[in-house]
Chains A and B, each alone.
Chain A
């Protein structure tokens, strides 16, 4: 018998799906065999706002070869159910068109070419209305897009004051006020596998398989749309080529479309978006404008923080309220402050809906508060990292929602790690590889990220996971958490095998399908390892105990668990299903927005060195060090890979990524001009893992997926300010943005 190798939690087990992925054997949606499948295409609006008068089919086109679907073909309600019911699956004749590229009709055909050709012959007739793109114009509400105010959601966080007058009195007695307005651009997730989905009806049931993060979100949305019972629709995740939030809510739209086409065409239909279509029509990070001011006393302590954040939600509500909520709950930052007022609004415009993207509102407000901390340090002549350390929250301090921090606060560990790694800054002036003069600067930042759902979200959701002993004596993890590249399968395998004390080869993680797994909640919010991994650990331990008890009763006490499992499994499947329970002491009040906004936070600090090319104005990131408190790295290589990837998305957002809208349309809807960093753009990433355990996470682990996205953009802006002596309060810091500041540079130099 082979020796039992129990992979300890904390070991870098190679990815379970690694070999399939490096050999090309992993099957993504577009790789699945589907004989006779038809291809779907979407007819979209070219108008940002208007009323759909009619849908004309070109009489010259041969429609006998294709299936056309409009809103009239929807068997249930014409709604993509997320938080509200304002977004239709297809705009109905007589209803309002709310954005460019909004779906109006669908076509399916035996080939993709024919489907797209047919789609070009479907002509929506739309009588235009005046569009609204600007958030201030939306707030003025002269044109109504959503209810009377165009405000999808407004939140307020208040701490330490009863009235606005009392609040202003704190500012009146301040020795110094630091103030600024900070803008962040929309950002495209740019998963490399475009959105893809396939549906087929059989015996009155709809089977949908596709690229997605959240099978149960799709399931929830399909029931009213298709007018079926919960058992009437089965959602299965295919191997998914990246998500980053972009496959959180939008897959429900594509699932609806393939389900409707398959229903009418009476055959399997799949839809794989073109890259251009994917960039133009699907969700992006909410662009945001954050006004932030801080009142300081003579010692430089923060007396009060006042934040007003406005996000552009786009045409429908989708997940915007939750994005806003996370944004404002992070907006005061991880800093000591007795008096706080944070106001957040997300408003309707005629842009395509903005949505989930790694960080989920927090990167926008983190950019604002970390620019503010930089200005504080500069104004006081203080070392930037020392200023942060002086003001940072530690165990015992309270956040802006009045949450007193207890365990797992890695402030000193992450700041200390950056201090030790920092070294001497590179020479201020120099020459780059192209021989151009450069000016260098260094920036730092410090930040936190709430792990798991906001507020009482996890309690409401009550996610479940099942650990099963199968009849062949193996173990299965059954959860709806998807592996979208972040390593969920490997992590669950490792947690389960370690808790059972068996070789990892005895554990399988089943493919998430709503017919086979319980609802563990969506794969979002840095919750998969911490929350669902915790359920896997608890369930595995319970199953081990059951097996040991059974062994005692059957004369097998003390035998190796795999032997017991074989014997017990032969008598039938044995399962343990565990449901989430909040850790003790976690209380949240949704009405007053006070209490434990998150059960625990990740903590991070970052250092960035930049070189600004004084000929081309390009900002090159020469060094990026990030220290992240992850509680416990279940699999250090996978955790490091997560942080590296999030960090580069943040660095890209800081200097080169942007989605440009013109007349409500994405102007740069292709990979050629909607750019993301390449190998050659990326610096060496120095990621330092810090482990300050979370007592209620699996082996101490807490969320890690999103935090690296939050801070680095501010560190880059701080570094460029350090180089040029000019504040950069908007991203991306493109060559054009740098060039515009040239007259104000605070050093002697410039183009050679």
Chain B
């Protein structure tokens, strides 16, 4: 079927099976390879994208469900060469190591920071909240510590 969807602000029409995974539409049809596949079963969160403002695992979303909807991927976070506050903070704080989980975490964290769902103060309750909100994204490199630092830092920058 023809699927019309908006990805990172640009309109696309994709000819694909309605059962094709959104992840594959993004990576194969649109060549947006920033979105990664870690498990293909909705556990790791590496393929997280925003679908009409909601974070979803794109490996669990069928293309047919995306007709007429808006998708934001990691490629849509930066404004040209100007990184999103979350991206900047991830680089500065050491929140990315191997980087394969980073796009999913960046997409999810950017959403949390933009919506003001994370407080920009570095205390135990704010940190616990970040951990709860990002619990759908697995990282095996960092032990999460520096990612939490980065998200708090980004929230502080944005609230300035």
Is residue A239 within 8 Å, beta carbon to beta carbon, of the partner chain?
A: yes
Question: Interface digits, A666-687 against B, CB 8 Å rule (1 contact, 0 not)?
Answer: 0000111000101110101101
- Residues on the A chain within 8 Å of B145, using CB: 640-641, 644, 682, 684-685, 687
Is residue A407 within 8 Å, beta carbon to beta carbon, of the partner chain?
A: no
Known: A25-B34, A275-B40, A671-B41. A242 touches B90 (CB 8 A): no
Known: A24-B35, A679-B134. A485 touches B127 (CB 8 A): no
- Residues on the B chain within 8 Å of A27, using CB: 33
Q: Are B39 and A275 in contact (CB under 8 A)?
A: yes
Is residue B25 within 8 Å, beta carbon to beta carbon, of the partner chain?
A: no
- Residues on the B chain within 8 Å of A676, using CB: 138, 140
Partner of B78, one of A23, A239, A274: A23
Known: A239-B99, A486-B97. A193 touches B137 (CB 8 A): no
- Residues on the B chain within 8 Å of A647, using CB: 143
Is residue A350 within 8 Å, beta carbon to beta carbon, of the partner chain?
A: no
Is residue A742 within 8 Å, beta carbon to beta carbon, of the partner chain?
A: no
Is residue B67 within 8 Å, beta carbon to beta carbon, of the partner chain?
A: no
- Residues on the B chain within 8 Å of A28, using CB: 36, 100
Q: Are B101 and A645 in contact (CB under 8 A)?
A: no
The A19-78 residues at the B interface (CB cut-off 8 A) are 19-28, 30-31
The A645-666 residues at the B interface (CB cut-off 8 A) are 645-649
Known: A14-B91, A24-B33. A648 touches B143 (CB 8 A): yes
Chain A's closest residue to B76 (CB) is A24
Assembly CA distance A259 to B37 (angstroms): 24
- Residues on the A chain within 8 Å of B97, using CB: 242, 485-487, 641, 645
Output the least CB separation between B2 and chain A (Å). 21
Q: Are A640 and B135 in contact (CB under 8 A)?
A: no
Q: Are B98 and A240 in contact (CB under 8 A)?
A: yes
Partner of B102, one of A21, A244, A671: A21
The B57-74 residues at the A interface (CB cut-off 8 A) are 73-74
Partner of A190, one of B27, B78, B99, B140: B140
Partner of A682, one of B40, B73, B75, B143: B143
Chain B's closest residue to A433 (CB) is B128
Q: Are A649 and B140 in contact (CB under 8 A)?
A: yes
Q: State how many residues of chain B have any CB contact under 8 Å with chain A.
A: 56
Output the least CB separation between A609 and chain B (Å). 14
Is residue A17 within 8 Å, beta carbon to beta carbon, of the partner chain?
A: yes
Q: Are A644 and B102 in contact (CB under 8 A)?
A: no
Assembly CA distance A429 to B40 (angstroms): 42
- Residues on the A chain within 8 Å of B44, using CB: 192, 671
Q: Are A26 and B131 in contact (CB under 8 A)?
A: no
Partner of A31, one of B33, B140, B141: B33
Is residue B155 within 8 Å, beta carbon to beta carbon, of the partner chain?
A: no
Partner of B142, one of A19, A193, A645: A645
Assembly CA distance A150 to B35 (angstroms): 46
- Residues on the B chain within 8 Å of A547, using CB: none
- Residues on the B chain within 8 Å of A25, using CB: 34
Is residue B93 within 8 Å, beta carbon to beta carbon, of the partner chain?
A: yes
- Residues on the A chain within 8 Å of B99, using CB: 17, 20-22, 26, 239, 241, 485
Q: Are B143 and A644 in contact (CB under 8 A)?
A: yes
Assembly CA distance A218 to B15 (angstroms): 40
- Residues on the A chain within 8 Å of B142, using CB: 641, 644-645
- Residues on the B chain within 8 Å of A12, using CB: 94
The residue in B35, B37, B77, B127 that gathers the most chain A C-beta atoms within 10 A of its C-beta is B37
- Residues on the B chain within 8 Å of A682, using CB: 131, 143-145
- Residues on the A chain within 8 Å of B137, using CB: 678-679
Q: Are B91 and A672 in contact (CB under 8 A)?
A: no
Question: Interface digits, A157-170 against B, CB 8 Å rule (1 contact, 0 not)?
Answer: 00000000000000
A residues at B contact (CB < 8 Å): 12, 14-15, 17-28, 30-31, 189-194, 239-244, 274-275, 484-487, 637-638, 640-641, 644-649, 670-672, 676, 678-680, 682, 684-685, 687
CB-defined A-B contacts under 8 Å, sample of 24: A19-B91, A21-B102, A23-B74, A23-B87, A25-B34, A27-B33, A30-B33, A192-B46, A192-B139, A242-B100, A243-B98, A274-B40, A637-B93, A641-B97, A641-B146, A645-B97, A645-B140, A647-B143, A671-B41, A671-B43, A679-B134, A679-B139, A679-B144, A682-B144
Q: A22-B90, A646-B143 are in contact. List 15 more A-B contacts (CB 8 A).
A: A22-B106, A24-B33, A30-B33, A191-B98, A193-B98, A240-B98, A484-B98, A641-B145, A641-B146, A645-B141, A670-B43, A671-B44, A679-B131, A679-B139, A682-B131
Q: What are the nearest 4 A-B pairs in CB distance?
A: A24-B34, A485-B98, A241-B100, A21-B99
